[in-house]
Structure 1
Amino acid sequence: MNDTTLKADVLIIGAGPVGLTLAMDLASRGISVIICETRRFAEPPNVKCNHVASRTMEQFRRLGVAQKLRDAGLPADYPNDVVFRTTVTGTELTRIPIPCRRDRYTETEGPDAWWPTPEPPHRINQIYLEPILLKHTAALPGVQLLNRTQFAGFTQDREGVTAIAIEMDSGVTRSIRCRYMVGCDGGSSVVRKQIGAKLEGTAVIQRVQSTFIRAPQLRDMIPGKPAWSTYAMNPRRCGTMFAIDGHETWLVHNHLNAEEPEFDSVDRDQALRDILGVGPDFQYEVISKEDWIGRRLVANRFRDGRVFLAGDAAHLWVPYAGYGMNAGIADALNLSWLLGACVQGWGDEAMLDAYEAERQPITEQVSNFAMDHAQKMIRARRAVPQNIEAPGPEGDALRADIGSEAYALNVQQFCCAGLNFGYFYTGSPIIIADGEHTAPPYSMGDFTPSTVPGCRAPHFWLADGRSLYDAFGPGYTLLRFDRSVDVRPLERAAQSYSMPLTVLDIETAEVPKVYAHRLVLCRADQHVAWRGAHLPFDVYDFVAILRGDAKRVRERKRALAWEGVVAAA
């Protein structure tokens, strides 16, 4: 091998939020990382994601960046409400109340204030989010960021991956040797194409003419209380506007109709004025055009040997409920601890099979939630009555009805407890079902907390004031609700494989009733792996399964069965 070859445990292609989060988590496990990114260091990202989900914030809390993110974005007292109006400057139809970031931890009223979590959601645009993640990641030991570097291809063998990358400014070709590689390189992913994976689903659900503007005078023209997001509903043009800095910058989505198949088929300026509800004298500056197509596409596989896909490289869908970037980050955090286990030597290579087995079905579920909501929204926009802006009692009654319908339809996407906490993993090689119950169903907005293996471990606060998740270890954490249960055999079995196992004795009266078992084993990603009243009979077989080495268990059982046959003969 050439002496100039760069080496790392994991190579990540793409330094967007998904790739950066993956690198952060790997670095926290002592795993060396190289990131290839075509942009210059700190080059501003596009104005895309506007929302960090609660589940994502829970993980950012563990990685030490949650508070940094809370301190950025909209002004601290700027309402995170979602409001529906006839136009942005027109009559209010309804409002979904969401606390400003100043009150996010203390607010108890509202459709998402009841959530059982240490970290509620945070409304922040990617132009503020990504620089914070980048600065944090670049400072971590073991992380090397290669900017202005184009990934060009790879080969892999039984021991690792050799990737070729080109320095875009000098034209110099670099060789990078790693044990594993992850493509976080977006919807047009080169990594996905090179492993032969294909996106399958619905290629076009909605075209959106999106414009990032600067309009300092707009805030004063909007009546009543400000809002993070404003939906404009009128017969001329329906659209959505997001407050970016809370002062003068705004992102405006013009949802094109089915008979408007091209972005340029609609006058952008007139559409903006119809959505905002302003006349020809209103002045604004176009900062950038951010047009996009809503899709429902999921890769037919997320892996080829030592190469994996995450984020938009693996799935694309209409970003309702904000579950574009957030689903990608969930991919990264599911994969990271598995890669860490293998690099550290306590996880069997077969443990990595859990990634595709767990994440691919979830992306199918979430994408269908998003597509279903998109179709309902398309129908709602088409059904806006011509007289929605009519004055007088008749118009007021009509607007009240439209507002009520808009609230009922949309509160579930902006206060989406189900998508945050309800999803669960089944069919995974490292989750041990107990046969007692199946995981409860969930919707976009609702869920039932559960300790069924595969579900997120329901959150509660420990007696010392910490979040349950703050006490989790880097591998598995065994929650013991009864100190009389002797767990030393499991500790010895885990130690024999160097498998990280943290035993956490629960000493608080505030435990949710759903924790009905004396033992609940949780994974690093906060999902339940197993539960029971007693330890399994053979703790070494149990640990083998948790390490991904179910093959060893099967072979041992076959051997014992054969010995029984021989003895009987």
Structure 2
Amino acid sequence: MIDVPVLIVGGGPVGLTASIYLSHFGVPSLLVERHPGTAVLPKARALNARTMEMYRQIGLERAIRGAGMPPRFGHMVMWAESLAGAEIKRLEPARGAASQALSVTGNCGCSQDMLEPVLRERAEAAGAGRVRFGTGLVDLQCHDAGVVARIRDSAGQEQDVSARYLIAADGAQSPIRRQLGIERDGERDVYDSVNIHCRVDLTRWVDDRPASLYLIEQPELRGTFMTINGTDRWGFLVTSLSHYGYTPEQFTPAFCTEVIRRAVGCDDLAVEVLGVGAWKASALVARHYRQGAVFLAGDAAHEMPPTGGFGLNTGVQDAQNLAWKLASVLKGEAGEALLDTYDAERRPVGQAVTHSSLLNALSMGRTARQQEAVLPRKEFLNEVGLIFGARYQSAAVVDDGSRLQVDDPVLQYVPSAAPGCRAPHVPLTRDGQTLSTLDLFGREFVLLTGPNGVPWQEAAGRLHPSIAGFVIGHHLRDEEGRFLRSYGLAPDGAVLVRPDGYVAWRSTGGAHDPSAALTRALDMALCREGQGSQA
């Protein structure tokens, strides 16, 4: 019998990220993945700035960018009749430019087959045996004290695993979700697609107009070239197969070659088909993300069309949100009710991005419902509000009564340090070196105060030595004078930021008894004042 605090089922980006973060917070876990290795098809490719903030905070940004496509391909999306034919439209996504101003990092194009090895290497570095590929879940029993699972490796050897908690990152078809009987709401099988992974040199058609996506619009073919390395390795996504009379079985290497040549507009183009995957896009969200000791994450919790590139990003952000909470409970620092806030915080996000992704697909005519449209709605690739603007409302957030005025929560983002919001990016300097407020987050609770906030920091040091404290104006210099304005603080105010970079509590000014105020805030943020019921 293997005894481990957390069992993770699924070794895609979400499961691997959960493993990495649990290790980052000092919690051992066991990850099992039934496939023998990481992804062989490009699948998802777009990592948004919020996701890259996460990976930057745990030291993975450089490795991921090194595995990604050349950055010059990330600034444009293009529509054309074929790569050699007439252009229809060019779009420079507003969210890319906005991210540069709103974050210390930016978007990254890194296909899933290149991303997963980076994540796997980091996850395995935490300890031998923590990540097991070629090992599947064959039985699961849930009880009040946790779960007992039976796993089987590729040699047919079986073992039992006892775990206090289980993260189900086992994909859109999630056998675990089905076993638990968790229903989903939304629209199923919105459209069908085939993803072709190929080696083909497209340099002469793309080198002078680099784009992350080249959308091909023909009367009998709707498809998208997805940039992987910008030269000779590409994905080609054929959408709405049934509408055009295609079936997945038709996509033999010879037929794939014919389709790609037609999309390029070159009849004698050399094409090597590396892999083909058929799938159907749905827009479905689980009715709850937690059931007892089991938590759904990633596609198991929310399945969405790829139009907008939110699936992977939403999933790995689920993993970060859940990991710090599991770690806090397992270490005895938080009440069990903290785990209920995972559903309260992440399910509304999953619902919002799934709905937006569906509307993107409908506007682009990628579904049987609406085939006449070609160009997308204005929100497509401009969803700055969805990327940065989520405001959590849960027991892990101490509401201060502040309200945000945003006319369009999809397009608009107003930086705010109101409780429940992502702590804003503000440039700072330390010993002559430039850094961001975001670089201070990611491991423990962080207390940021204005220049007159020393009493807050002294209280934190006496009561909670695990809190990292910074007086902006003493420890760190605010050369641009932005911190107090961005965080909504007076010079003697303070803000408490959670390990996931979201604000737990804020005092806009000083307090008569900083120790008592801070203790009360931390108790509330960690749900130490009473236990909540499980879903």
Report the residue type matching 2:441 in the other structure.
Answer: F
Partner of 2:62: 67
Report the residue type matching 1:53 in the other structure.
Answer: N
Aligned counterpart in structure 1 of residue 504 of structure 2, from 529, 533, 538? 529
Partner of 1:25: 21
Distance 2:526 2:193 in 1: 45
Partner of 1:479: 448
Decide whether the 8 Å contact of 2:505 with 2:521 is kept in 1: no
Q: Summarize the alignment of residues 487-502 of structure 1 with structure 2, pairs less than 5 Å apart.
A: 487=456, 490-491=459-460, 494-495=463-464, 500-502=466-468
Mapped pair 1:306 → 2:290:
no
User: C-alpha displacement at 1:435, in angstroms?
Assistant: 1.2
Report the residue type matching 1:429 in the other structure.
Answer: A
Mapped pair 1:174 → 2:185:
no
- Aligned-residue Cα RMSD (Å) equals 2.8
Structure 2 counterpart SS, 1:378: coil
Partner of 1:419: 386
Report the residue type matching 1:450 in the other structure.
Answer: S
Decide whether the 8 Å contact of 2:96 with 2:107 is kept in 1: no
User: C-alpha displacement at 1:114, in angstroms?
Assistant: 3.9
User: C-alpha displacement at 1:434, in angstroms?
Assistant: 1.1
Q: Summarize the alignment of residues 51-450 of structure 1 with structure 2, pairs less than 5 Å apart.
A: 51-75=46-70, 78=73, 80-97=75-92, 111-112=97-98, 114-141=100-127, 144-169=130-155, 171-216=156-201, 218-222=202-206, 224-256=208-240, 259-260=243-244, 263-264=247-248, 269=256, 271-279=259-267, 281-378=268-365, 382-383=371-372, 406=375, 409=377, 412-426=379-393, 428-438=394-404, 440=406, 442-450=408-416
Is the deviation greater in 543-552 or in 267-276? 267-276
Distance 2:519 2:449 in 1: 19
Report the residue type matching 2:524 in the other structure.
Answer: I
Decide whether the 8 Å contact of 1:90 with 1:222 is kept in 2: no
Mapped pair 1:46 → 2:18:
no
User: C-alpha displacement at 1:414, in angstroms?
Assistant: 3.0
Work out the percentage of aligned pairs sharing the same amino acid: 28
Mapped pair 1:459 → 2:402:
no
Distance 1:310 1:264 in 2: 29
Distance 1:484 1:119 in 2: 28
User: C-alpha displacement at 1:438, in angstroms?
Assistant: 4.2
Aligned counterpart in structure 1 of residue 472 of structure 2, from 484, 506, 511? 506
Structure 1 counterpart SS, 2:197: strand
Q: Assess, with a 3 A threshold, how the Cα gap between structure 1 residues 260 and 477 changes in structure 2: closer, same or farther.
A: same
User: C-alpha displacement at 1:123, in angstroms?
Assistant: 0.6
Structure 2 counterpart SS, 1:312: helix
Distance 2:18 2:327 in 1: 11
Decide whether the 8 Å contact of 2:221 with 2:244 is kept in 1: no
Report the residue type matching 1:377 in the other structure.
Answer: M
Q: Assess, with a 3 A threshold, how the Cα gap between structure 1 residues 228 and 205 changes in structure 2: closer, same or farther.
A: same
Larger Rg: 1
User: C-alpha displacement at 1:125, in angstroms?
Assistant: 0.7
What stretches of structure 1 of length at least 5 have no aligned partner? 100-108, 385-401, 554-569
Distance 2:284 2:125 in 1: 35
User: C-alpha displacement at 1:121, in angstroms?
Assistant: 0.7
Is the deviation greater in 539-548 or in 300-309? 539-548
Q: Assess, with a 3 A threshold, how the Cα gap between structure 1 residues 309 and 134 changes in structure 2: closer, same or farther.
A: same
Distance 2:405 2:22 in 1: 29
Structure 1 counterpart SS, 2:243: coil
Distance 1:97 1:552 in 2: 48
Decide whether the 8 Å contact of 2:239 with 2:366 is kept in 1: no
Distance 1:215 1:488 in 2: 58
Give the paired residue count. 510
Mapped pair 1:468 → 2:429:
no
Aligned counterpart in structure 2 of residue 516 of structure 1, from 482, 488, 491? 488
Partner of 1:389: none
Q: Assess, with a 3 A threshold, how the Cα gap between structure 1 residues 113 and 329 changes in structure 2: closer, same or farther.
A: closer
Decide whether the 8 Å contact of 1:421 with 1:456 is kept in 2: yes
Report the residue type matching 2:344 in the other structure.
Answer: A
User: C-alpha displacement at 1:310, in angstroms?
Assistant: 0.3
Partner of 1:103: none
What stretches of structure 2 of length at least 5 have no aligned partner? none
Report the residue type matching 1:54 in the other structure.
Answer: A
Decide whether the 8 Å contact of 1:252 with 1:272 is kept in 2: yes
Distance 1:153 1:439 in 2: 49
Decide whether the 8 Å contact of 1:210 with 1:252 is kept in 2: yes
Distance 1:429 1:315 in 2: 23
TM-score by length of 2: 0.87
Report the residue type matching 2:503 in the other structure.
Answer: V
User: C-alpha displacement at 1:18, in angstroms?
Assistant: 0.5
Report the residue type matching 1:240 in the other structure.
Answer: T
Decide whether the 8 Å contact of 2:494 with 2:506 is kept in 1: yes
Partner of 1:547: 526
Q: Assess, with a 3 A threshold, how the Cα gap between structure 1 residues 308 and 219 changes in structure 2: closer, same or farther.
A: same
User: C-alpha displacement at 1:475, in angstroms?
Assistant: 2.8
Q: Assess, with a 3 A threshold, how the Cα gap between structure 1 residues 110 and 60 changes in structure 2: closer, same or farther.
A: closer
Decide whether the 8 Å contact of 1:192 with 1:309 is kept in 2: yes
Decide whether the 8 Å contact of 2:10 with 2:168 is kept in 1: yes
User: C-alpha displacement at 1:505, in angstroms?
Assistant: 1.0
Decide whether the 8 Å contact of 2:447 with 2:470 is kept in 1: yes
Distance 1:149 1:95 in 2: 45
User: C-alpha displacement at 1:242, in angstroms?
Assistant: 1.0
Partner of 1:398: none
